[in-house]
Amino acid sequence: MLKEIIDKFYLDKQKNKEQSHFYITDAGKCQRAVFFKFKNAPRVEMEARILRMFDHGDQVHQLIMRPLLSIREIRVVASEVNIGPQELISGRADAILSDGKDLYVLDIKSMNSMIFRNLEEAKEENINQLQLYLHFFKIPKGILLYVNKDSLELKEFLIDYNPNLVQSLLKTLSELKIKIDKNIIPSRLSDYPESWQCKYCQFREICDMGEQNEMNWEDFKKKIEKTE
């Protein structure tokens, strides 16, 4: 009985999740998948178990933040910091820290043992997000802190602001916004279907029905509706 109630709680939360602006996690992601999110295209729903794991990740972040809030060497200037209002993108960094000399944007990421063990450098998608935080907060240094959810081991990577990377990410998002407004579905990833993004993509089924190159959303929507 409880399992069904708890699962329903999580599954209801993801229903009709229409998107109207970019999240910071969209930076560097497959443009077609982000387009489909904006259009609320049919997707494979995430299992309640996965959604609970996201919640668990949030708890792990709080656990990691606790000592930082009470030690002298580091001052937490702000936690759960939203990027300022602008039209393109929204996001919330875990914290801004000070060591008494410099400021750092902190982003905490949790992962399972297997991924953690093989992690030798910061993941590209996490660097993209952190770079955008550095840009919007105007802070030149950031820290990606990875937590092994199973053993609570930590690994950290210091990241310097890279203005060229940020300009490229922002340009891509601006171009994607134009495609979204004009109903132009972006091309598939060049390494479709081998990409890890395709492997976990909630839109894989409808993406498979389309073409490799750009398509018109209105025409493609009719094709999807016929198969539903």
Query: Does residue 27 interact with ligand SF4 by CB under 6 A?
Result: no
> Of these, 22, 24, 26, 33, which contacts ligand SF4 (CB under 6 A)?
33
Give the nearer residue to ligand SF4 in terms of CB position, either 70 or 213: 213
Spatial CA neighbour of 104 closest among 127, 130, 86, 128 = 130
Query: Does residue 37 interact with ligand SF4 by CB under 6 A?
Result: no
Query: Does residue 32 interact with ligand SF4 by CB under 6 A?
Result: yes
Is residue 147 within 8 Å of 107, Cβ to Cβ?
Answer: no
Query: Does residue 34 interact with ligand SF4 by CB under 6 A?
Result: no
Residues 6+ apart with CB under 8 A from 211: none
Structure token digits, residue 206 = 């409808």
The total of other beta-carbon atoms located within 10 Å of residue 25's CB is 15
Q: How far is the CB of 29 from ligand SF4 (least distance, A)?
A: 8
Q: For the segment 161-220, give every residue that binds ligand SF4 (CB under 6 A).
A: 188-189, 192, 195, 197-198, 201, 203-204, 207
Size of the site for ligand SF4 (CB under 6 A): 13
Q: How far is the CB of 125 from ligand SF4 (least distance, A)?
A: 12
Structure token digits, residue 120 = 């030798």
Distance, CA of 29 to CA of 18 (rounded, Å): 18
The burial class, CB within 10 Å (0-12 / 13-18 / 19+), for 67 is exposed
Give the nearer residue to ligand SF4 in terms of CB position, either 32 or 61: 32
Q: How far is the CB of 201 from ligand SF4 (least distance, A)?
A: 3
Instruction: Give bridge partners of residue 145 from the DSSP assignment.
Output: 108, 156
Spatial CA neighbour of 155 closest among 142, 146, 164 = 146
Is residue 223 within 8 Å of 62, Cβ to Cβ?
Answer: no
Q: How far is the CB of 179 from ligand SF4 (least distance, A)?
A: 13
With CB under 6 A as the contact rule, which of the stretches 25-33, 79-87, 115-123, 162-170 interacts with ligand SF4?
A: 25-33
Site residues (vs ligand SF4, CB under 6 A): 30, 32-33, 188-189, 192, 195, 197-198, 201, 203-204, 207
